[in-house]
Structure 1
């Protein structure tokens, strides 16, 4: 209701609003069209509301209006009074930020109290403004000190109560006292003494410390009832108020500010860390191979060993974080370096790319992998997860869903972690015991697990609905290079801890207690004698492939300690000692190696003799004789002598038969081209014949 162009009008909302409207909208419109009710202003938009002339309302609608809202003059006065009420924004800010001690815990006011105190403070301010106006007017008129000023202010307070709903005293004396305290203490005087009054606190600071100490006590460990009884037994002697109930004490101990003070002593510091300390909110990668997780877990399927005993084992898995694809695994009872090596190698072979980052825990196998440099070679960066923090491992979540969705379908399922509360997460041990003979063998278990992994990879990813393996294969990561053969050697070939010496019997390495011997070949199946001549008894660093012992790689160290690749060595050729068991190929190999050995002896002697003659230290140059080769044919010795210039030509043949055979093999072309051909004189031939006779 308001005056519009000096005409008293009512609004559309006042006439039609509420559960019991004065008049319905349809009836109002019909009366306006018929001219029974005058429209002073049409509504238009949010800021312009429709107004209707109050005096034009039919009597029955006037009566309903006054029954609902009161007489028009009273309504206008109330509106005028309400318009003069201005909420104190500073009071609102004060009560919003106000905190008080509630049983040892800093607490803010409730929303209801904030609203109530803001209204009361605003009204008190208005009442004091009214009092100051009355006092100034009285002094200006020379009326002296009027005795009815407080009565006028009290009347104003009651009128404002109807408008604002304030809760100031309804008694003049108490209102006067409230106003005086507001004038002295300001906003704080409005707050009830029951709020923030230290005299009402049941648990003081010292008492609270004692309660926390009793809760933390490990010797002895006390129940909540025992803590309650112990505290109340001490309270009177220490001047504390006794606690009224165990429930109240538990509510205080479990409050947000108090619980962290004792939680670690009761449940462990790691549990307290996981419960109270802030956690990061992270977003998983969107590209394949951006992040791999590696972790070991229990393989949740029972199997029977060779003795028929029911057993479980473990598995080390490597997964791609973006697609949840299982890339590589190794089934092993222990999460050791070998299991991790096999899993990462399989993951690299399946992926064909190096991952950008690998996240793993800090178990012993990873420490060895770090020290060997394997992880540094596989990825751009690798790091460990926070210890004892399962929430930081995405792979833990993947394992859990893999168990629930895939492995759980197998009746041999061991159940999830023992902390799982669902009955479906636990195995049916009675059924397993009854079918013990039908459990997987270890080989069958490995085949079943491989099938389960394939099923998981082909299942739809929960975020995209697309097959995990299809997501992985369709994704491209430009920052993850393809893996080459040389990369595989660099990443996964293992370096022997000790250097090995290449001897006449080859080079020997020992892997897991098994000795393996290798040698360098010039061609398949043919030892490289020339290389042997230069490198026998040289020490080498050996690298081998744990997946394939068909070859090893030999490296030598330069002065700077850098490795230099020398040759690839293959398994040492083994032949049968007994002639009866030798094959035709072995016999030929023996003959060829004997010839090669003879030639090697020749070349070694020739090289040495040439140096002796060149430097003048040969025994023959000093009146001595070089020993003949032992165990060698005579023509081997003659070849050495000829090539080392001990004789200038081939020795003369004194055997008549051999001489004639030599002559018979010479033709006239040879005599023309070779000036060294010499025929024995007749006297020599006769001498030979005589000696034969």
Structure 2
């Protein structure tokens, strides 16, 4: 009443005191100990209205009081329920007995022992103990206990013969445990005489038969074992007993490797690492190739499905950012896909993930990967789960390519019919090949499927519509740690070492026509141009016949880099080709040919003649009768090196206009010029 603003606290106390003394009559009430309860029903209507509005929040007071009391009881019950698992006490004797059987792992032993503890607690809680613990009814305890047991069962903390799914099953287990004890929780082990009779010798024979690479069935293993048992006096065992023994986890993983091989054993039993999601776009590109899985009509009218597709996927978004198409996995196909991925949005990856395919680990591709990324290495062999792209390719085929009637189906090992093509549809296509796309159209259909895939998001609403960011939007999201590339970066990125398989050192020889290379079945000639930028007389003069290692962008072969002993020597550019006949002349061809001929003459016989004459004059000036040896043009040695160096220095002074010319020097100057 005070809180509702009806009266003040002093007035209320004074009025109730005077009413009890018979001096006034105000409100009906009664007293319980020191508490005084004013009767709501005896109040004036205006007081009731104020209490209902201010105290009860416009809820009828009787309902308000009932709800408040219920909330208090529920809060108290929740507190009791939360403490219930602390009352479950595992019996050390149970753990010891279960461990002695040798049939369970330590984790399984503790799970069964805790299940027994819950069943004991269930049987101990009668009505009296339930009320003492704060439960209004014993069924309230049973409901709370079942919820806790169910939660622990999902986490593997308890283990029953069969998983529990309702309170009745838990109650049935508790009654059975009360009668049979721990035996009621053991699945056909403790009470199986055959199992108890398996000793070290029996076990060794069974393991040897199970691990045989001929893969005998359990029935055959039982027959062969029991034949030996008759001859050796061993106990005969049933198929069921042998199967239960061999399929124990600690034994099965041993014979499974021997029976099925390392690869199958690893897939079945090796622990899997749980990885966090890739944090940003371009942090990891996962790459791999597979059959396109699409039929098409070839130029000769035959139905084919021989196209091979190489994918580049961004592991953060799942987007397909690069792809290439060929007939098999080659280094060229891998390079084309990587180049397309870089060109997609002008970014390069931090890490590349791939398998040990021959194209991926070729020298050209590994060199390219080193240029492109900070980190790259192959995944563990025969471990598809370690590659993100395995999942993406499978989903792409089943969710996009599967929509095309020329889809041939997924992997031949797939077990679901939804992943396979309809045989009646394929029969119709064989009879009507004109319904199939031709080569160009199947390529266009595939590229359209990639675009559709990138527009998909990973989530759908209840009506089947895509929600959230698409794969492409996730890939395009800005991130400060991404590495962008420009036009020149992209050219240098794809500069890779190219090995000449026709030479022992893998190098290319510089000939009078320059360096000839065949790239993507097309011939190219490269020269190191003179200062004029067209011809290579100067470089050829010093390097004719020498072998160079080449680094080039095979997808954009505008130029290549020449190396010797790991050091860069020069940059060679694609050679200009002249017309073979006058009819094919283009503007400027005639003047270019004349200039080329003039340069040939300049650096041909006349050049050689002038150089030799210069040598003779220098020898005369030094008083030397003849050269002691030559090593190519302009390379010679003399008996008096000091005199030769002085004469050569004087000539250079005259060329620079720093001294008067003698008659001999005038001859040399004329020849030099």
Aligned to 2:304: 311
> Secondary structure of 1:290's partner?
coil
CA distance in 1, matches of 2:259, 2:390: 26
Deviation at 1:43, TM superposition (A): 12
2:612 aligned with 1:612: no
Mean alpha-carbon deviation: is it higher for 589-598 or for 379-388? 589-598
Change (3 A) 1:211 1:592: closer
Larger radius of gyration: 1
Pick from 588, 595, 612: which aligns with 2:591?
588
Find the counterpart in structure 1 of residue 446 from structure 2. Answer: 449
* CA distance in structure 1 between the partners assigned to 2:370 and 2:569 by the alignment: 21
Whole-angstrom distance in 2 between the partners of 1:426 and 1:417: 8
- Asked whether the equivalents of residues 103 and 202 of structure 1 are also in contact (C-alpha less than 8 Å), the reply is no
SS in 2 for 1:99: helix
Q: 5+ unaligned residues in a row in structure 2: which ranges?
A: 1-38, 40-68, 77-85, 125-173, 461-466, 501-505, 627-662
Residue by residue over 1:425-447, the C-alpha shift from the partner in whole angstroms, topping out at 9 and shown as x without a partner, is 21232133123233233332222
Shift of 1:289: 0.6
Q: Which of 205, 214, 231 is the matching residue for 1:210?
A: 205
3-state secondary structure, aligned to 1:343: helix
The gaps in structure 1 that reach 5 residues or longer are: 1-32, 34-41, 50-86, 122-163, 170-186, 623-641, 650-693
8 Å Cα contact 1:543-1:554 kept in structure 2: yes
> For each residue in 1:193-224, what CA deviation from the matched residue of structure 2 results, as whole angstroms up to 9, or x when unmatched?
x99699784442233333333333455x5433
After superposition, the Cα gap between the structure-2 partners of 1:462 and 1:606, relative to the gap in structure 1 and judged at 3 Å, is farther
Are 2:566 and 1:573 equivalent residues in the alignment? Answer: no
In structure 1, which of residues 210, 235, 260 is the aligned counterpart of residue 253 of structure 2? 260
Mapping of 1:332-481 within 5 angstroms?
332-369=326-363, 373-428=367-422, 429-462=426-459, 465-478=468-481, 480=483
* Cα distance, 1:255 vs structure 2: 3.4
Please report the TM-score for the alignment, with normalisation by the length of structure 2: 0.61
Distance 1:247 1:485, change over 3 A: same
| 1:93 counterpart residue number | 92
Structure 2 distance, partners of 1:287, 1:386, is 24
Aligned equivalents of 1:166 and 1:420: distance in 2? 44
1:543 aligned counterpart, secondary structure: strand
- Deviation for aligned residue 1:119: 11
Choose which of 547, 554, 572 in structure 2 pairs with 1:546. 554
User: Aligned partners of 2:296, 2:74: CA distance in 1, in Å?
Assistant: 79
Provide the rounded CA distance (Å) in 1 between the counterparts of 2:340 and 2:409.
27
| Counterparts of 1:423 and 1:167, CA distance in 2 | 46
C-alpha deviation, 1:460, in angstroms: 1.6
Q: Deviations over 1:340-387 (max 9, x none)?
A: 111112212224222111111111112214785222221111122121
Summarize the alignment of residues 537-686 of structure 1 with structure 2, pairs less than 5 Å apart: 539-549=547-557, 551-557=558-564, 561-577=565-581, 585-600=588-603, 605-606=609-610, 608-616=612-620, 645=666
Task: Please give the secondary structure, in 2, of the residue aligned with 1:518.
Answer: strand
Distance 1:308 1:618, change over 3 A: farther
Deviation at 1:231, TM superposition (A): 3.8
Shift of 1:292: 0.7
Alpha-carbon distance in 1 for matches of 2:669, 2:592: 35
Mapped contact 2:578–2:593 kept (Cα < 8 A): no
CA distance in 2 between partners of 1:505 and 1:553 (Å): 15
Alignment of 1:482 with 2:485, yes or no, is yes
Aligned partners of 1:345 and 1:492 also within 8 Å: no
Q: Residue deviations 1:429-472, cap 9 Å, x none? A: 21331232332333322222111111111222349721211211
> What are the within-5 Å matches in structure 2 for residues 15-414 of structure 1?
92-96=91-95, 98-100=97-99, 108=109, 109=112, 113-114=116-117, 201-205=195-199, 206-218=201-213, 222-235=216-229, 238-243=232-237, 246-312=239-305, 313-369=307-363, 373-414=367-408
Deviation string for 1:108-151 (max 9, x for gaps)? 45656556789999xxxxxxxxxxxxxxxxxxxxxxxxxxxxxx
**Secondary structure of 2:304 counterpart:** strand
Q: Is the 8 A contact 2:88 2:117 kept in 1?
A: no
My pick for the range that moved more, 601-610 or 112-121, is 112-121
Distance in structure 2 (CA, Å) of the matches to 1:378 and 1:437: 44
Q: Secondary structure at the match of 2:328?
A: coil
Aligned residues: 485
Tell me the TM-score normalised to structure 1 length.
0.59
Preserved CA contact (<8 Å) 2:310 2:325: yes
Q: Report if the CA contact (8 A) 1:92-1:118 is conserved.
A: no
Distance of 1:647 and 1:273 partners within structure 2 = 82
